[in-house]
Structure 1
């Protein structure tokens, strides 16, 4: 394995992983060597006879584990974006070993003692903050526990890592298996012609020539329900969506919740939620509970009003699978707008170049050049070089926009190479979306929700690309979970900024701009259906909160879920949670456990920041430079709310969010 591409830094630009050279058999040896090498490095640090200093202890830890880092970022990105049975077997085997590896570092008493012995007095601010974060990381990992407690903690961490992988793999299999096969094209009445052709192409790719396949996206609500006139088919799709994981993940989620509660108690916390929030920007679980409690009554009241209007429009007592369809009818009647009218104006390449990239160029002066000579991890991945206004290199952006059976649902950003002055590396980031791929030769026409998602994920990408920190621990999106969504949500504002929208919303055939009356109606309709949108989000958030504040045996997960939603006053049959427990990947396999509240918590900061941009002239270089300098470039190198206050000049106000959500 001397030619294993993970054993040395990549020679490609920006150390882009050499995907053309990487083979499946390279991963396990790289993981094994990477872990062994880092443990040897850690042992050398912990056993050093020299007095502990920042450089020989903390900075040395930051430099350790290079091989392990290289293989990990590539493997887990691939496991999410383009997995296969071989990858899944490696993932099952390697995740518990990685949990053991982490414990071997963070439960090393000699290492922790050296870190504790370093005086912060003479250190620079970023160095002092890193030292403080390391002490916190070790304590939260159990470094101060006794030997017996540490042994139990190791066992919990190992089992939790295994269960998380099982959940993720079960969900991918269930989502693929739950795709709806349609025999008769007449059942697809209401779908656009390009959507029908895409369903036929999906069926063909699955060996179902002559049929049509509707794949499921991650949330409960499926986009096609907005258009399909066939109520029976809508019901089939809805039931398939909300049933995912019931057979395979029910026991998994109960076990994870119980183990997390036990681990939190072992570490001295009243619940897993308390453990998580202790290291976030929220001042405590009570603050989160109070915020959710303030939002819920008004949102539920709005949803009830919306439901009454939909019933009147439908002429009968609607069910959950009818909501999107009749909401669209009300939207069309009230705003004279049809979502299908808009899709021809949202062609993927134009949205990306003339929308997402254009806004970034205007705000930050950055440029984008597609590098067809550089290869991604899948043939559909596109690679762009990003440069600053003066032409100096900034990093690489990879775009992976299409859905496939080997990709998990949802949309996300990953870092393949982190920016770090210590290591002399520039950022390489990737955005993943799940847009159904059209037949060959046809344009990819997007819904406005997909457009908004592309802007959102690119906000995460900018957070990674603009990172200007010294230490990898602070690079890019390495900020508290309830802060990480803030910059990405801010970037959504440019999707509807008049100058940006006019630049990308052009008909894919004629190039004509979207008619102003259609633009006006689309913007006017943005607050429509906010009761539904807020309640489905809050229901998922409160469900996450319930699972991670358990103080007794949860029992049957479906009954636990019903009870939790009822206790939180969000048990609306017409508005299912955005994610039900058994397919809630964010909290069981995605790092958002007891943290799904972070989207609405971050939206407080986001809405206040959007107000700042509007007050200061909007899409200007001066505004972009300020946001980049004070916030995006900082990563985790300063305390998160300090960065916000340095940017905004004060604490955040909640009123802009309430106005946006129609909750005043």
Structure 2
């Protein structure tokens, strides 16, 4: 019996990880596709006149089992992969891509959807139902339903190739990350490194049966070395290795994949009647057009660039004065920035880390969620995990009602890709009068405990945890009828609002005092340190803004044009970065070949959304500051109008209902120190 094809007889119907064999996935997903096709056939063969319930609603609830097992499979492929899973993914992805096309290119199904859409005024639909109808119709019209048969076949081929290429892109990045290790046997090479980072490097070497210390490209190993190691040549070696991922003219090289993905996306957009891939994507975003994105990015660039250049010149002068550095390089950035920050603010991460024990930070995030949204988090051990490091929680409201199941996976390992993300194992929806609650997960790569110390987070890791937890709250508090509109199923440039707004509590005294206690003494973080955290929060904000804008501009340079004339990835990238360049280029490095956000994740033509959402989050948090950071009234407004609503209405409508007005960029510019307060 294949457990994936049956209702899970588990607590809260959670994924039965321990009972799933890798060999179950392909047959289960194949059967799931057959069952989902039967759901579609039942809709198209229904003799009744098409209406909202028998067509639009039925379609949204179709393929439920397939959605569930696919989410389990792809989440494991990101967080706990293996060569076997990657091989299965190469088989499964084209099948799912083909099935998706089978739906959007199904003429009989589209005719029923179109019939409901054209007669929408004859039905009494709620706001959410109207949104679902719009979204459903567009999912057909925007994905080839109106194409001729030969063009539909062309679209199928493009989608099949794209699914395989993006998978292979990600596999290559992970393989390159895992392949590099810097093995050090001379302790002097670690001079400047904090004791905790040295101990972690020694533990890592021991785990590989090596003497000495091991530094890798995983962030908890890479970031401390780049920030603190005095040995400039080793920093250079590490930085070049990181920047050269999948850029080696070998079997793991992604240059050709970048060119193929960009060109196929453009061809797809053209086939569907759009000027570029960005035009296609942005039609369903708050920004609406590439022109609006360009204007947004360039306006921010105009304000940030003078500040960034001023900060850079000061950093250059500081490095020259301190160590005689004539030309600041990329591998000097974190090192001298940290030294300058220490000088200006008498603050470094090593002072802060003892106050940010991972378990305490998790409890702090939970306490803040309880204060704001009346949630309770109870760690449970009655549900299956896919790895022993994963923590599992039952989330309830103050009346004990189940709100969500929550998984948290915090430490790096070989089977997990770098970075941090939130994901969903099961969506929330209401069916037959039952509000089926979601199963949400966050995955991070934080500093692991060592023999002598618990996991102590850098302040950046603290804000990352809060960021992903903000996404998680968006998923947990979902309260919509239809699964495709639930939780984080919102416009891409709106999805970062709940995550980014929660980061603001990391800088507030009232919040920090709830969880920032010394792991040895239990002392609450001193007020002097809180003041330094706040004072340093805008340190190098101009340079940070320029960096984010450069990524957004690179994204648009691949997707907002016809890329067919691009012959060389590196040359194209240098042109895209020209207006945001501070450091000399490193010939061995290329960002595009490991830019997983846009070539593997869902951020193509959408990387600008981080900055876009910063405008929203700064404006939203200003409201909290006006009323109190734990204001129940503002929190209820945010929960009722944003967190629980998913994609049921236009995001600007939801935002204005919460805030009472449209967001103003002034709040962001003030917070970033790019404008007078």
* TM-score with structure 1 setting the length: 0.96
- Distance in 2 (CA, whole Å) between partners of 1:490 and 1:276 is 25
- Aligned pairs for 1:20-419 within 5 A: 20-118=18-116, 119-121=119-121, 122-205=124-207, 207-217=208-218, 222-247=223-248, 248-315=253-320, 316-317=325-326, 318-353=328-363, 355-419=364-428
Q: Does the residue aligned with 1:651 lie in a helix, a strand or coil?
A: coil
Choose from 585, 605, 627 the match for 2:596.
Answer: 585
CA distance in 1, matches of 2:349, 2:175: 31
Residue 539 of structure 1 contacts residue 576 of structure 1 at CA under 8 Å; is this kept in 2?
A: no
Residues of 1 paired with 2:230 and 2:533: CA distance?
Answer: 22
CA gap of 1:17–1:357, structure 2 versus 1, over 3 A, is same
> Deviation digits for residues 88-114 of structure 1, max 9, x if unmatched?
100111111111110001110110110
Q: Check conservation: 2:235, 2:331, Cα contact below 8 A.
A: yes
SS in structure 2 at match of 1:421: strand
Q: Which residue of structure 1 aligns with residue 495 of structure 2?
A: 484
Q: Is the 8 A contact 1:220 1:241 kept in 2?
A: no
Residue aligned with 2:214, SS: strand
CA shift, 1:328, in A, is 1.1
CA shift for structure 1 position 504: 1.3
Take 2:485 and 2:204, find their aligned partners in 1: how far apart are those partners? 41
Distance 2:385 2:305 in 1: 45
Q: In the TM superposition, what whole-angstrom CA distance separates every residue of 1:555-604 from its partner, at most 9, and x where no partner exists? A: 110111011212xx112225999981011000001010010001001111
Specify whether residues 574 and 494 from structure 1 end up closer, same or farther in structure 2 by C-alpha distance, changes over 3 A only: farther
Separation in 1 of the partners of 2:95 and 2:568? 31
User: Is the 2:229–2:235 Cα contact (8 Å) retained in structure 1?
Assistant: yes
- 1:534 deviates by 0.9
In 1, Cα distance between equivalents of 2:70 and 2:523: 46
SS in 2 for 1:38: helix
Tell me if structure 2 keeps the 8 A contact 1:220–1:238. Answer: no
Whole-angstrom CA distance in 1 between matches of 2:590 and 2:609: 15
Alignment-derived partner of residue 660 in structure 1:
671
Tell me: CA distance 1:434–1:476, structure 2 relative to 1, closer, same or farther (3 Å).
same
Say whether residues 1:632 and 2:632 are aligned partners. no
Structure 2 CA distance for aligned equivalents of residues 91 and 59 of structure 1? 30
CA distance in 2, matches of 1:213, 1:20: 32
Contact 2:219 2:445 (C-alpha < 8 Å) held by counterparts? no
Conserved in 1, the CA contact under 8 Å of 2:165 and 2:261? Answer: yes
CA distance in 2, matches of 1:193, 1:331: 20
The structural deviation recorded for 1:422 is 2.0
| 1:47, distance to aligned residue in structure 2 (A) | 2.4
- 2:11 touches 2:382 (CA, 8 Å); kept in 1? no
SS at match of 2:448: coil
Aligned to 2:554: 543
Q: Could you tell me which residue of structure 2 aligns to residue 558 of structure 1?
A: 570
Once the two structures are TM-superposed, the CA of residue 482 in structure 1 deviates from its matched residue by: 0.8
2:420–2:464 Cα contact (<8 Å) kept = yes
How far the C-alpha of 1:179 sits from its partner, in A, is 3.3
Structure 1 CA distance for aligned equivalents of residues 599 and 301 of structure 2? 24
> Deviation string for 1:163-191 (max 9, x for gaps)?
00000000000111123322222211122
Structure 2 CA distance for aligned equivalents of residues 25 and 651 of structure 1: 51
RMSD (Å), alpha carbons: 1.8
Q: Specify the alignment match of 1:622 in structure 2.
A: 633
What's the TM-score once normalised by structure 2's chain length?
Answer: 0.95
Q: Which runs of 4+ in 1 moved over 3 A?
A: 217-223, 574-579
Alpha-carbon distance, 1:215 to partner? 2.3
Give aligned pairs, total. 658
**Inter-CA distance 181–297: structure 2 relative to 1 (3 Å threshold):** farther
Cα distance change of structure 1 residues 583 and 101 upon mapping to structure 2, 3 Å threshold:
same
CA 1:289/1:605 → structure 2, altered by over 3 Å: closer, same or farther? same
CA drift at 1:24? 0.9
In structure 2, relative to structure 1, the CA distance for the partners of 1:365 and 1:136 (3 Å cut) is same
Kept in 1: contact 2:421–2:442 (CA 8 A): yes
1:14 aligns with 2:36: no
Structure 1 pair 430–579 and aligned structure 2 pair: CA distance change class (3 A): farther
Q: 1:483 to 1:490 in 2, by over 3 A?
A: same
- Asked whether the 8 Å contact 1:14–1:426 carries over to 2, the reply is no
Contact 1:45 1:57 in 2 (8 A): yes
What's the CA shift string for 1:604-624, capped at 9, x where partnerless? 111100111111222122222
Give 1:219 deviation, angstroms: 12
Structure 2, gaps ≥5 residues long:
none
- Contact 1:281–1:640 (CA<8 Å) still a contact in 2? yes
Rounded Cα–Cα distance in structure 1 between residues aligned with 2:216 and 2:449 = 13
1:377-409 per-residue CA deviation (whole Å, 9 max, x = no partner) reads 111100011110222111111100001111001
Check the 8 A contact 1:201/1:438 in 2, yes or no: no
In the alignment, is residue 598 of structure 1 matched against residue 581 of structure 2? no
CA contact (8 A) 2:553 2:577 kept: yes
Unaligned runs of 5+ in 1: none
